[in-house]
Amino acid sequence: MTQDIPQAEESSKYEISVQNLTYSHNQSGANVEPALIDINFALPKGTRTILVGANGAGKSTLLQILAGKRLLTKSGTDVRIKERDVFRQYPSGVTFLGTEWAMNPVVRGDIVVSDFLNSIGGYRHKERRDKLLDILDVDLDWHMHAISDGERRRVQLVMGLMGEWDVLLLDEVTVDLDVLVRDDLLRFLKKDSEERGATIVYATHIFDGLDGFPTHVAHMRLGTFVTAPTPWPFPDVITNGTATRLYSAALQWLREDRDHRRGLEVQGRKKRGAKSQEKLSIGNMIIVIEDPLT
Ligand SMILES: Nc1ncnc2c1ncn2[C@@H]1O[C@H](COP(=O)(O)OP(=O)(O)OP(=O)(O)O)[C@@H](O)[C@H]1O
């Protein structure tokens, strides 16, 4: 299951196009394997792509690069959204929603949800805002410091989705939603993308109830695509018992990933992402563990 990679002159046909992307979190040149290795793919406008991959596969890194949160200057690398180079001329209309937002002390302060949403222009998108408040069951009178993690996540989603985005990058932000809210939200996003031709890339570990959502599915392993974004449903995925097709495909891929990783470990190749020193914090004491893998 592969996809032809567009040539540079063709990339304007695509809403997102990535060519020759290799990225290392450690820019100092230390001997750490890159988080992304020679990534190439292109997504047409209006597609909804699910990224599947084990922990550490590179999904968040890819989304962060697309979101303009990481800088890279390397000749030959070309990462574009809406035909704009994300490192030099970041496009408008792109929304990124990731998990770290909820940890920010600002959104844990004593601020009322209505004031919070108004402070970022909620009144300009009143119709969509009210629809999202209903879908996500958010109360405008909540105080941000006195709500649960799932409730705070719902406020984040109202905030991020109330404007009309063209490209939406979601990094595992539905994980703490209850099943009903998640289902309603996915329906809203699918309809929105169909009606407005908006494009979604969504990294998740929760596959239940997702079969009807994507137009494409991709599988990442150790910083590369094992399966580039490919039209979904795949004809050859067999449902396993009561499991949905996407769940079955993901389970199979993750088993293969685990076997592959264990094979590398047996060969003595270092685990990707592992550091020669690891630090654990207990209270305000930091314990350094030398070479945690040995
Ligand atoms: N800030 C960072 N500094 C150094 N290395 C990092 C950093 N963030 C991620 N990495 C490394 O980059 C690789 C890819 O991580 P990434 O977070 O992109 O994976 P992921 O597929 O999103 O994983 P998960 O499913 O756990 O969220 C891993 O080896 C990880 O250890």
Each residue's pLDDT tens digit, 86-120: 999 999 999 999 988 877 887 888 999 999 999 88
Same domain? 137 vs 205 = no
Mind listing the pLDDT tens digit for each residue in 166-185?
A: 999 999 998 889 999 999 99
25 lines ligand 1 (CB under 6 A): yes
Residue 3 near residue 230 (C-beta atoms within 8 A): yes
Size (the chain), residues = 294
Per-residue model confidence (pLDDT) at position 278: 40
Closest residue to atom 4 of ligand 1, CA basis: 25
* Residue 158 within a domain: no
Last residue of a domain, one of 153, 177, 197: 153
Same domain? 180 vs 252 = yes
Q: Rounded CA gap, 153 and 174, in Å?
A: 8
Residue 76's Cβ-count burial label (10 Å; 0-12, 13-18, 19+) is exposed
Minimal CA–CA distance to 63: which of 87, 97, 91? 97
Six token digits for residue 215: 């137009």
Same domain? 56 vs 174 = yes
Residue 198 near residue 168 (C-beta atoms within 8 A): yes
What percentage of residues in the chain have a pLDDT greater than 90? 65
Q: Rounded CA gap, 20 and 18, in Å?
A: 7
pLDDT greater than 80 at residue 283? no
Q: Rounded CA gap, 221 and 218, in Å?
A: 10
Closest residue to atom 1 of ligand 1, CA basis: 25
Per-residue model confidence (pLDDT) at position 103: 78
Domain around 225: 8-93+165-290
Checking DSSP bridges between strand 167-171 and strand 16-23, what pairing results, if any?
unpaired
Same domain? 193 vs 247 = yes
Same domain? 198 vs 260 = yes
Instruction: Give strand pairing partners of 290.
Output: 277
Minimal CA–CA distance to 51: which of 177, 180, 223? 223
CA of 39 to the centre of ligand 1 (A): 15
Q: Rounded CA gap, 21 and 72, in Å?
A: 9
98 lines ligand 1 (CB under 6 A): no
* Residue 159 within a domain: no
Last residue of a domain, one of 129, 153, 177: 153
CA of 206 to the centre of ligand 1 (A): 18
pLDDT band at 241 (very low <50, low <70, confident <90, very high): low
Same domain? 256 vs 115 = no
Mind listing the pLDDT tens digit for each residue in 52-63?
A: 999 999 999 999
Closest residue to atom 6 of ligand 1, CA basis: 25
Residue 167 near residue 94 (C-beta atoms within 8 A): yes
Checking DSSP bridges between strand 277-282 and strand 224-231, what pairing results, if any?
unpaired
CATH for 55: 3.40.50.300
59 lines ligand 1 (CB under 6 A): yes
Checking DSSP bridges between strand 216-221 and strand 199-203, what pairing results, if any?
unpaired
Per-residue model confidence (pLDDT) at position 4: 52
How many independent structural domains does the chain possess? 2
The residue with tokens 């990058």 is 169
pTM for the full model? 0.86
